[in-house]
Chain A
């Protein structure tokens, strides 16, 4: 039997429905927010990124060398994510995932010195936080700075790299240019091309010798404290005079926090323990003669007979982690003394790890083994006084939704991460598939034809290489529970677990392509 609504009945129904709908929305919003948060100011957020810090070399995660005693101790009142992964295997892709909440295949900051697609200029952690947040940011890393420049419109205070350096060799910092990123790109090509030949025929050589001279001069001054040389922002082979000390950065941060109006969001991305591994005097030689890493066979992308060199480099890297940890300890004492942790969510993580094994050094390579993608994530939730361990796989893309929820912001659509478990917010109960993407040689726009993908699910990890000459369509699979050093590749097309993971990865790649 059909029943036709009169105009009056229709309007009445519409009114009741909209009232019910608005009530429903309100109530759902209430359940999303913590009662405590609605009654108080939202917490401050401090996102502390230590560049190239691999969880594999952090004693908090069971590394035999005592690299992070301060972090170990502080974690008694923090949430420790034991299986946390970066979004990519180098600064650009890893940082972009952290700041956008999506994987590199979506944000597309996949190339060295790259930026995300335009969409993310106004869709990132800085822009998505409520308006009341005062955002400030600093990084020593040029690649991270290029990304921050893209988000500049939403950052109230973005310091230049040179602002906290002992001496800056960046020319464009001294010029009144609005077109900063492109000019910086040109300067790197002209004078400071780490990966190829400088475009300036004569002045690049003068600039290089000036930087070298200044670097020698500064290193002489600080030789007692830093016998291997000062930490510096040049990440390539060329001599760098953009030197700094981590101490001065931490000092600046302490002052900043003290004077800052609340609530604030601070993004501080420091370069150590990234190469060069110039640690402070008291850490030099700290791990000599102790534990030595297992020797692993050289990878297709590695070089043979480098085990000894890599072992030495790894010792130096670990000594640099110890330096970073001591400065972190100093920062934490300051935060404690001033009771900042009561209303601050402190996140300690990294943009990617570091590889010093299998004949490979650094992270400018196509591999996705644990040392390069397993990063630390330790979160001091506001007022937390108990230790909490999370063993589920988590990703850098999960940080943004978690922080947004803490800030009382609604989660936008299109996120690929989910609220971190253990955050006491609306954490997802779904099984988390964690992906890592490396695609430096693929175009920003277009299919990722030359790339490496990793999928971590529960105890298993699948790695898929595609498009590399001589190493195309290669799969590796590891049982991380029984084989955390990834020594035994158990991939076989007939293995049910392998097939299941491969099917899931294929489906995901088909979706993103």
Chain B
């Protein structure tokens, strides 16, 4: 039953890599914004430490997101989600990543659009997201060329994300080393 209801390991790994990309990219981007202030007051080994924690956290965040997508795949009818797991899950992951960015700029947006925090605005924002996911999914089914192009994009994204994954593993090693060194000293 589990095999039938849930995606295969390969599918899961591909989707994980595509989710890892925006989450890690955001993390690196914001780390680089803070870097000048770190350079003012921290040593390189400490900066490497902070970076490592953020990268491992990004990996953990991607895993959590992946779990949610797998659960959705298990709950929704196979024909709707599981059959197209890689494209559907990646689409949701990428679109959600774009959709959440304005929430990080809440203060700036509120300054020019005070209704941003209204329930109605929030509902509309979520509504547009759902409509877009459904709409794009429909287009993929209708035009197989489009889906094929998206799959090619996913494959390329997964390759780039492999680099992130290597960074994540290195980061995990650095965290362990830092904790071990401090604990022993």
Contact = CB atoms under 8 A, between A and B. Distances in A.
Contacts of A235: none
Given A178-B183, A182-B49, A182-B178, A199 B54 contact: yes
How many chain B residues sit at the interface, stated as a range, is: 35 or more
A202 B101 CA distance: 9
Contact of A205 (B33, B50, B103): B103
Contacts of A186: 49-50, 53-54, 57
B84 interface: no
Contacts of A442: 40
Contact of B97 (A198, A201, A237): A201
Q: Which of A185, A199, A200, A204 has the most CB of B within 10 A?
A: A199
B146 interface: no
Residue of B42, B49, B57 with highest tally of chain A CB at under 10 A: B57
B179 interface: yes
Interface string A175-204: 001110011011101100100111111111
Interface string B8-51: 00000000000000110011001101100101111000100110
Contacts of B40: 111, 114, 441-444
Contacts of B103: 205
A198 B30 contact: yes
B50 A182 contact: yes
A112 interface: yes
A311 interface: no
Nearest to A199: B30
A179 to B, nearest CB: 4
Nearest to B178: A179
A113 interface: yes
B58 interface: yes
Given A111-B40, A199-B26, A182 B46 contact: yes
Interface residues of A, number: 32
B34 A200 contact: no
Contacts, number: 98
Contact of A189 (B39, B41, B54, B101): B54
B50 A185 contact: yes
Nearest to B185: A178
B155 interface: no
B105 interface: yes
With a 10 A CB-CB cut-off, give which of B31, B34, B40, B96 has the most chain A CB atoms.
B40
Nearest to B46: A182
B17 to A, nearest CB: 16
B104 A198 contact: yes
A203 B61 contact: yes
A87 B178 CA distance: 33
Contact of B27 (A114, A187, A201): A201
A177 B97 contact: no
B132 interface: no
Nearest to B108: A197
Given A199-B27, A201-B22, A443-B41, A179 B61 contact: no
B182 interface: yes
Contacts of A177: 179
B100 interface: yes
B93 to A, nearest CB: 10
A189 B179 contact: no
Contact of A190 (B57, B64, B96): B57
B117 interface: no
A378 B30 CA distance: 44
B49 A200 contact: no
Contact of A196 (B34, B41, B54, B101): B34
Given A199-B27, A199-B30, A203-B64, A179 B175 contact: yes
Contacts of B42: 444
A174 to B, nearest CB: 14
Contacts of B46: 182, 185
Contacts of A201: 22-23, 26-27, 61, 97, 100-101, 104
B150 interface: no
B109 to A, nearest CB: 13
Contact of B30 (A110, A111, A187, A197): A197
B129 interface: no
A179 B179 contact: yes
A399 B83 CA distance: 71
Contacts of A189: 30-31, 34, 50, 54
Contacts of A198: 30, 104
Given A205-B103, A442-B40, A199 B64 contact: no
A422 B124 CA distance: 68
B44 to A, nearest CB: 12
Interface string B100-115: 1101110100000000
A182 B46 CA distance: 7
Given A113-B41, A189-B50, 5 more contacts: A197-B105, A201-B22, A201-B101, A202-B96, A444-B40
Interface of A: 110-115, 177-179, 182-183, 185-187, 189-190, 193, 196-205, 237, 441-444
25 contacts: A114-B41, A179-B49, A179-B178, A182-B49, A182-B50, A182-B53, A185-B50, A186-B54, A187-B53, A189-B34, A193-B34, A196-B34, A198-B30, A199-B34, A199-B54, A200-B27, A201-B23, A201-B104, A202-B64, A202-B96, A203-B57, A237-B107, A443-B40, A444-B40, A444-B41
